[in-house]
Structure 1
């Protein structure tokens, strides 16, 4: 989902039903404020979260929403589906229709999902260009070999996309269990990487996205708002 951003003069014309000339006159007369500050620059950028007052008429922006959800298996990482249970079936904030998912999980994978209506913020968590690290607890059928650990670290070639995956850190925790850290999110990437070694993945549980760690007190299927510290991660 793209962030909705507008030039202030165009925002005034659209939301307050006026001509461009009227908007410019009100700006020049210092009759417009954005988030509590008087503004006279018609090119200032506002977005869907901005509160704009124009000639004593007020347009209140959306409240920014940031949610942590502990996804159970069998729930679809989608906001809407006519046939299957989705994340949104467990979440009911007042502006649910505006939410999107930052970094999806496969239907049968579990763990940390982040939902927000702030596209610019969530892009920095899920956008591959930012290289935000995501951490997973992975259980496979067979013991994990040294060769597998080395191959993850070097990157594996994916025929379909014609790319080499970015280096991934695989740390063995037990014979058939590992922590995997990725900085990208290719289609079924973890399953495909282990599949190269004919080692089927039995379960995937995401524990962390960037600095945001899944709350171990949050039961599966439940959600909570992110804290101010979680929201304001260093980016």
Structure 2
């Protein structure tokens, strides 16, 4: 859900199909509350999630929703798809069709996926200058080597987009398993970076976004709402 901002008088004028001067009268008569506070200013800026009541009747009461999903392999990160099952199909919330995805995972990747109807929150997560770290566990087809660590940390140039990736941390956990930490998410970035070493990615699992880790109690395909603390932590 896009966060639409508007002047209160414009919103009420359009909602009730009345003139702006009639909205001023409503406010002067103290008949309008915004977020349970008396609204007297026609210039007051409201948004999608402002609670608005007129004469005690709710005019707008949209709630921001935040969901964590353990995305399984084989499910597409989309709201609609004619071929594959989507992450929306996995959800069991009445508001699920109002959600959008905050940071996608490709079809063959698994792990932490966040969904919300709050576009300001999702934009904050995705902006490069926000530097929200994402951690992945990666299983490779061939053995890992120490020279990969410095290559990831230096950044790699991709000619097609004319970009150089930001420094990424690579930790070798075993011969074929690594932990990778990124602060960006270019198209198939991890697969392409390991591709420079002709080392195919066999499994890609996102463990965390910022300080928010995938709930270990969630099985693949399961989801739950985030707590207020979790929402504000990233």
Q: Which range moves more in the overlay, 143-152 or 181-190?
A: 143-152
Q: Per-residue displacement from partner, 1:155-174 (whole Å, max 9, x unpaired)? A: 10011110110000101111
| Residue correspondence of structure 1 range 79-228 to structure 2 within 5 A | 79-228=79-228
Unpaired stretches in structure 2, ≥5 consecutive residues: none
| Residue correspondence of structure 1 range 37-48 to structure 2 within 5 A | 37-48=37-48
Unpaired stretches in structure 1, ≥5 consecutive residues: none
- C-alpha change, 1:39 and 1:121, in structure 2 (3 Å) is same
Once residues 164 and 124 of structure 1 are traced to their aligned partners in structure 2, the CA distance between those partners, rounded to angstroms, is 22
Q: TM-score, normalised on structure 1?
A: 0.94
Once residues 28 and 10 of structure 1 are traced to their aligned partners in structure 2, the CA distance between those partners, rounded to angstroms, is 16
Which residue of structure 2 lines up, in the alignment, with residue 22 of structure 1?
Answer: 22
8 Å CA contact 2:157–2:164 kept in 1: the answer is yes
1:7 is the counterpart of 2:7: yes
8 Å CA contact 1:26–1:55 kept in 2: the answer is no
Q: TM-score, normalised on structure 2?
A: 0.95
Deviation of 1:186 after TM superposition, in Å, equals 0.3
Deviation of 1:228 after TM superposition, in Å, equals 2.1
Q: Per-residue displacement from partner, 1:102-145 (whole Å, max 9, x unpaired)? A: 00001000000001111111222222231111010001111112
Deviation of 1:15 after TM superposition, in Å, equals 1.8
**What SS is found at the alignment partner of 2:233?**
coil
8 Å CA contact 2:88–2:97 kept in 1: the answer is no
Once residues 158 and 233 of structure 1 are traced to their aligned partners in structure 2, the CA distance between those partners, rounded to angstroms, is 33
**What SS is found at the alignment partner of 1:174?**
coil
Once residues 42 and 128 of structure 2 are traced to their aligned partners in structure 1, the CA distance between those partners, rounded to angstroms, is 34
Corresponding pairs, count: 234
Deviation of 1:28 after TM superposition, in Å, equals 3.4
**What SS is found at the alignment partner of 1:192?**
helix
Once residues 23 and 121 of structure 1 are traced to their aligned partners in structure 2, the CA distance between those partners, rounded to angstroms, is 31
Once residues 125 and 155 of structure 1 are traced to their aligned partners in structure 2, the CA distance between those partners, rounded to angstroms, is 21
Deviation of 1:88 after TM superposition, in Å, equals 0.7
- C-alpha change, 1:125 and 1:118, in structure 2 (3 Å) is same
